[in-house]
C-alpha cells in the first residue's frame, strides 16, 4: 500500500486547558520561516514515494496563511487521494478555503469539541457556537464534502442534556465523519498541572449514548473514537491502525518504515523549534531518535492498534508474521475475558465489545501480560 504523509503545524492562538501536544503560541511572523524549514526537510529527506494520504495536524494548521499550506502540498507533485487538514472554528475564511481547494485538500477536520458556549469557555476554547455553524456553512459553500467534527465528552461541568444536544446537532448537520474523545487529563496540560478536579463520572454514559445514537443515524463505528458515513472512513488514520508506513515532517513528527528484509523502524523529529531550525539550516534532518521494533514491540502494537478497530484483528495472521504460537493458558484467559463481556473471539478475529472499549488499555494489557513472546513457543 502507498504510504501516508503527516505534516505537523505546531502553531496555536493559545493552549487549551486539556492540551498536552507539542504546540507553540507564536506570532504570525514565525509561520513563514517554519514552513520554509518544513519544505527544506521534505527536500533533504529525498522522500520520493507517491503518498496516498497527506494529513496536516497540529497545533492549528488553519491559523497559518492558506498559501503556505498550498506550497507544502506542492512538494508532492501528484498530490494524494485524501488530503486532510485540521482546523479550529473561527480561523477559516474564504481566501484560505480557496487555497485549500486549489491545493487538493478534500477533507477538513473541525475541532468543535462542543456546540455549547459554556462548555467551550470552560475548556479554554476561543471560538463559540456561532463560529462553528458559520464555518460549516462556508465549507459546504466552497465544495468540501468530507468534514469531520471532533467532540470531547466529559468536559468539566458538562451536563447530560447538553451532551444530548451536541448529538442532536450532529444528527442535524450530518458531517461525513465524527470523532469523539473521552476527556483524559494529562500531566502536561493546564488542567493536569493545576491538579484540577475534572470529573469523568458521566463520560462513560456520554460515550455509550453517542454509540447508540450515531449508529441509528447511519454512522459506521469503525474505531474506538471514530464514526463515519459509509465510504468516509479516514484513510490516513487507517494507515496508523493497520501498520502501513508513513512519513512525518515538522517538529515532533513521527515516521514508521518497513524494509524489504522485514525490518520495522520508527524515528521521530526534535520537539524543539530552535533545534529543528538549526539542524535544517545545517542541511541535517531534524531526527532526534529512532528505534528498530523488536518482535515483542510489534506484538504489543498489533494488539494495541488491532483492538482499537471495532472489526478487531486476525490473531493467526499476527502469529504467522511474528513466528509465535499462543500458549494454551492464553486461550483460558481469552475465555475468562469473553465470559466477563469484555471481548469477542470467533476463533480467528479478536475484538473488544462495547463494554470492553471503555477500558481498552486495561483489557489489552491483560491480553499481553505476561508477555506473549516470552511465554509462547517459537514456530519452527
pLDDT 10s digits, 233-253: 999 999 999 999 999 999 999
Lowest mean pLDDT: which of 9-23, 82-96, 358-372?
Answer: 9-23
Round to whole Å and give the CA distance between 34 and 269.
Answer: 14
C-alpha distances out from residue 33 to 29, 38, 62, 74, 100, Å: 8, 9, 16, 17, 20
- Determine contact, residues 87/111, Cβ cutoff 8 Å: yes
Q: SS3 of 85, please? A: strand
Q: By C-alpha distance, which of 32, 138, 21 is closest to 89?
A: 138
Residue 197: pLDDT above 50?
Answer: no
CATH topology of domain 295-375: Arc Repressor Mutant, subunit A (1.10.10)
Domain 4-240 CATH (choose: 3.30.930.10, 1.10.3720.10, 3.40.50.620, 3.80.30.20): 3.80.30.20
Nearest by Cα to 5 from 48, 64, 67: 48
Per domain, the residue ranges of the chain are 4-240, 295-375
| 250-284 pLDDT per residue, tens | 999 999 998 876 789 999 999 999 999 999 999 99
Summarised one tens digit per residue, pLDDT across range 139-161 is: 999 999 999 999 998 888 888 99
pTM for the whole thing? 0.90
- Look at residue 74 and tell me whether its pLDDT is greater than 70: yes
Confidence grade of residue 62 (pLDDT, cut at 50, 70, 90): very high
Task: Kindly state the average pLDDT of the residues 48-54.
Answer: 96
pLDDT in tens, 75-115: 999 999 999 999 999 999 999 999 999 999 999 999 999 99
Amino acid at each position: 500500500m502507498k504510504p501516508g504523509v503527516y505534516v505537523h503545524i505546531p502553531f496555536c492562538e493559545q493552549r487549551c486547558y486539556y492540551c498536552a501536544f507539542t504546540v507553540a503560541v507564536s506570532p504570525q511572523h514565525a509561520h513563514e520561516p517554519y514552513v520554509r524549514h518544513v519544505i527544506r526537510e521534505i527536500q533533504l529527506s529525498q522522500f520520493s514515494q507517491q503518498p496516498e494520504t497527506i494529513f496536516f495536524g497540529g497545533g492549528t494548521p488553519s491559523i497559518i496563511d492558506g498559501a503556505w499550506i498550498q506550497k507544502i502540498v506542492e512538494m508532492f507533485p501528484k498530490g494524494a487521494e485524501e488530503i486532510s487538514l485540521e482546523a479550529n472554528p473561527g480561523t477559516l475564511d474564504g481566501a484560505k478555503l480557496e487555497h485549500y481547494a486549489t491545493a487538493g485538500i478534500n477533507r477538513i477536520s473541525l475541532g468543535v469539541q462542543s456546540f455549547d458556549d459554556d462548555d467551550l469557555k470552560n475548556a479554554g476554547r476561543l471560538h463559540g457556537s456561532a463560529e462553528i455553524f458559520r464555518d460549516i456553512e462556508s465549507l459546504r459553500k466552497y465544495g468540501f464534502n468530507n468534514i469531520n467534527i471532533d467532540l470531547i465528552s466529559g468536559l468539566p461541568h458538562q451536563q447530560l442534556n447538553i451532551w444530548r444536544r451536541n448529538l442532536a446537532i450532529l444528527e442535524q448537520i450530518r458531517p461525513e465523519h465524527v470523532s469523539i474523545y473521552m476527556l483524559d487529563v494529562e500531566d502536561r496540560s493546564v488542567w493536569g498541572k493545576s491538579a484540577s478536579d475534572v470529573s469523568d463520572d458521566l463520560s462513560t454514559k456520554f460515550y455509550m449514548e453517542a454509540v447508540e445514537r450515531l449508529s441509528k443515524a447511519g454512522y459506521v463505528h469503525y474505531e474506538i473514537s471514530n464514526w463515519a458515513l459509509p465510504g468516509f472512513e479516514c484513510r490516513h488514520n487507517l494507515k496508523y491502525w493497520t501498520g502501513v508506513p508513513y512519513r512525518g515532517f515538522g517538529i515532533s513528527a513521527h515516521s514508521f518504515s518497513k524494509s524489504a528484509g522485514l525490518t520495522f523502524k520508527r524515528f521521530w523529529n526534535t520537539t524543539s523549534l530552535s533545534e529543528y531550525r538549526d539542524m535544517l539550516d545545517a542541511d541535517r534532518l531534524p531526527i532526534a531518535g529512532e528505534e528498530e521494533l523488536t518482535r515483542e514491540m510489534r506484538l504489543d502494537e498489533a494488539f494495541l492498534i488491532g483492538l482499537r478497530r471495532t472489526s478487531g484483528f486476525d490473531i493467526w495472521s499476527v502469529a504467522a508474521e511474528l513466528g509465535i504460537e499462543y500458549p494454551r493458558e492464553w486461550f483460558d484467559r481469552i475465555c475468562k475475558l469473553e465470559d466477563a463481556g469484555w471481548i469477542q473471539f470467533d476463533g480467528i478475529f479478536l475484538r473488544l465489545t462495547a463494554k470492553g472499549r471503555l477500558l481498552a488499555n486495561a483489557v489489552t494489557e491483560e491480553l499481553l501480560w505476561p508477555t506473549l513472546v516470552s511465554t509462547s513457543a517459537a514456530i519452527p
